[in-house]
Amino acid sequence: MHYLKKSFLILLMPLFAFTIAHKFYVSVTNVSYSEKDDALQITSRIFIDDMDQVLKERYDIEAHLATDQESVLSQEYLEKYLRAKFVIEINGEPRAYEYIGKKYDNDLIIFYLEVTELDFPTVKSIQIQNEVLTDMFDEQQNIVHFKIKGKKKSFVLMKENTKGVLNL
């Protein structure tokens, strides 16, 4: 009888492999230049459930993002987390950005950021350091797409390599 149980388990094992969902940890950030506003305009798309988890883990906030029970503190802590993990440098100098806000789109949260008064003719390099969620998930990949004045460049940033630079 013991032999039958063992055989049955061995036969079922391959079926269990297909029932475990594989989770991807990825964000996508687009950086573009607005000539009209002389500003870098940045959108970053991140999975809502991952951001919910990081707020719980880092700040002990039950955010309930994108639900009717969303915490009134969620906006404040989302911005706090982003400012700690997403850094912009222009010509090697840290540059403050304006946190414009966020919106939800299906299972994503989209953040809107802007670096104003750029004085674009003097810009030689733009560096993005994106450590969003790399402190939570070793597999996290943060893809950054630059599209500035006809120059396109993309980076896949990970825990070991969190910076991407566009030289102009």
With 90 as the cut, is the pLDDT of residue 10 above it? no
Q: What is the mean pLDDT of residues 78-106?
A: 96
**2 within some domain:** no
List strand residue ranges (DSSP E) for 12-161, in order. Answer: 26-34, 39-47, 86-90, 93-95, 98-105, 108-115, 125-130, 141-148, 151-157
**1 within some domain:** no
In this structure, of 26-30, 44-48, 81-85, 151-155, the range with the lowest mean pLDDT score is: 151-155
The 3-state DSSP class for residue 60 equals: coil
**85 within some domain:** yes
* pLDDT confidence bin for 27, thresholds 50/70/90: very high
**Distance of alpha carbon 24 from alpha carbon 105, whole angstroms:** 18
**108 within some domain:** yes
With 80 as the cut, is the pLDDT of residue 90 above it? yes
**10 within some domain:** no
What is the per-residue pLDDT for 4? Answer: 45
Look up residue 163 and give its two tokens.
């910076």
With 70 as the cut, is the pLDDT of residue 167 above it? yes
**151 within some domain:** yes
In 3D space, the residue among 142, 140, 148, 143 whose CA is nearest the CA of residue 115 turns out to be: 148
**99 within some domain:** yes
pLDDT, tens digit, for every residue of 53-80? 999 999 999 999 999 999 999 999 999 9
pLDDT, tens digit, for every residue of 121-151? 999 999 999 999 998 999 999 999 999 988 8
Domain that holds residue 70: 25-167
Give backbone dihedrals phi and psi of 95, rounded to 5 degrees, phi first. -130, 130
Structural domains in the chain (count): 1
H or E segment at 11? Answer: helix 2-17
**Distance of alpha carbon 37 from alpha carbon 76, whole angstroms:** 26
**14 within some domain:** no
DSSP, residue by residue, 29-58? EEEEEETTTTEEEEEEEEEHHHHHHHHHHH
